[in-house]
């Protein structure tokens, strides 16, 4: 977490949490979701505006964490902005037939398990959590499987959040009166 974020948390400890305003799709893209987008439907059916500002994306990714309930958030200064997930908390980039795997934010990881769901989507477990393989890297993932580097297990996609301890939609878990509709601070 950035030092400036830690300082803001200490200065303003009681800022309300924010739900529904930020989404992460299955390709590692971040989306800002205003009131109109949220009213149009849940993420990812109504995605919102694709974030393209590199420094903002880097800031989000440096301050991306999860709470004890498995809800992922971006710590935006003193405010937690909970993230709506299209698939998983991480999107893996795979190179060299699985010899190199990193998060959508570029952090290298070690693979501990390979999973394939009922739709053929490939997931990898790691010490930092579960992620889906980016669609552009499916050839490298297939090479890793064919070379015996990964041995896929069959799973049901709907079982993954409970088994791997993450919440795909923190907003959906909130009672309507508790959902903070104001945008990120």
Residue 179 in this model has a pLDDT that exceeds 70? no
Degrees to nearest 5, angle at CA 118 with 116 and 120: 50
- The pLDDT of residue 185 is 53
What is the pLDDT of the chain when averaged over all its residues?
92
Residue 184 in this model has a pLDDT that exceeds 70? no
Is 131 within 8 Å of 118 (Cβ atoms)?
A: no
- The pLDDT of residue 183 is 60
Cβ neighbours of residue 50 closer than 8 Å, sequence gap 6 or more:
29, 30, 31
Residue 180 in this model has a pLDDT that exceeds 90? no
Residue 135 in this model has a pLDDT that exceeds 70? yes
Residue 22 in this model has a pLDDT that exceeds 80? yes
Average pLDDT over residues 34-46: 96
pLDDT in tens, 41-90: 999 999 999 999 999 999 999 999 999 999 999 998 888 999 999 999 99
Pairing of strands 100-102, 90-95: antiparallel
- The pLDDT of residue 132 is 98
SS3 state at 173: helix
Confirm whether pTM is higher than 0.85: yes
Residue 126 in this model has a pLDDT that exceeds 60? yes
Instruction: Map out the domains of the chain as residue ranges.
Output: 3-86+168-178, 90-164
- Closest residue by Cα to residue 131 from 94, 105, 103: 103
42-66 burial, b if ≥16 CB within 10 A, otherwise e? ebbeebbeeeeeeeebebbbebbeb
Confidence of residue 100 (pLDDT cuts 50, 70, 90): very high
Degrees to nearest 5, angle at CA 59 with 185 and 30: 85
- The pLDDT of residue 3 is 76
CA distance 37 to 97: 38
Residue 9 in this model has a pLDDT that exceeds 80? no
The domain defined by 3-86+168-178 folds into duf1285 like fold (3.10.540)
Q: What's the Rg (C-alpha) of the chain?
A: 17
pLDDT in tens, 167-176: 999 999 988 7
Cβ neighbours of residue 32 closer than 8 Å, sequence gap 6 or more:
21, 22, 48, 49, 51
Please name the residue ranges forming H helices in 41-170: 54-62, 138-146, 160-164
CA distance 176 to 173: 9
Confidence of residue 16 (pLDDT cuts 50, 70, 90): confident
């Amino acid at each position: 977490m950035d030092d400036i974020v830690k300082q803001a948390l200490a200065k303003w400890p009681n800022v309300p949490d924010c739900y529904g305003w930020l989404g992460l799709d299955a390709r590692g893209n971040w989306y800002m979701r205003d009131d109109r987008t949220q009213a149009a439907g849940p993420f990812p059916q109504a995605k919102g505006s694709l974030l393209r500002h590199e420094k903002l994306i880097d800031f989000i990714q440096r301050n991306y964490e999860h709470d004890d309930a498995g809800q992922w958030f971006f710590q935006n200064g003193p405010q937690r902005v909970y993230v709506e997930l299209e698939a998983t908390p991480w999107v893996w980039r795979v190179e060299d037939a699985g010899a190199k795997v990193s998060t959508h934010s570029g952090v290298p990881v070690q693979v501990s398990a390979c999973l394939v769901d009922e739709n053929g989507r490939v997931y990898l477990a790691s010490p930092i959590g579960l992620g889906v393989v980016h669609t552009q890297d499916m050839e490298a993932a297939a090479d890793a499987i064919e070379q015996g580097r990964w041995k896929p297990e069959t799973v049901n996609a709907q079982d993954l959040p409970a088994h791997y301890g993450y919440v795909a939609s923190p907003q959906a878990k909130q009672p309507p009166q508790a959902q903070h509709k104001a945008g990120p601070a």
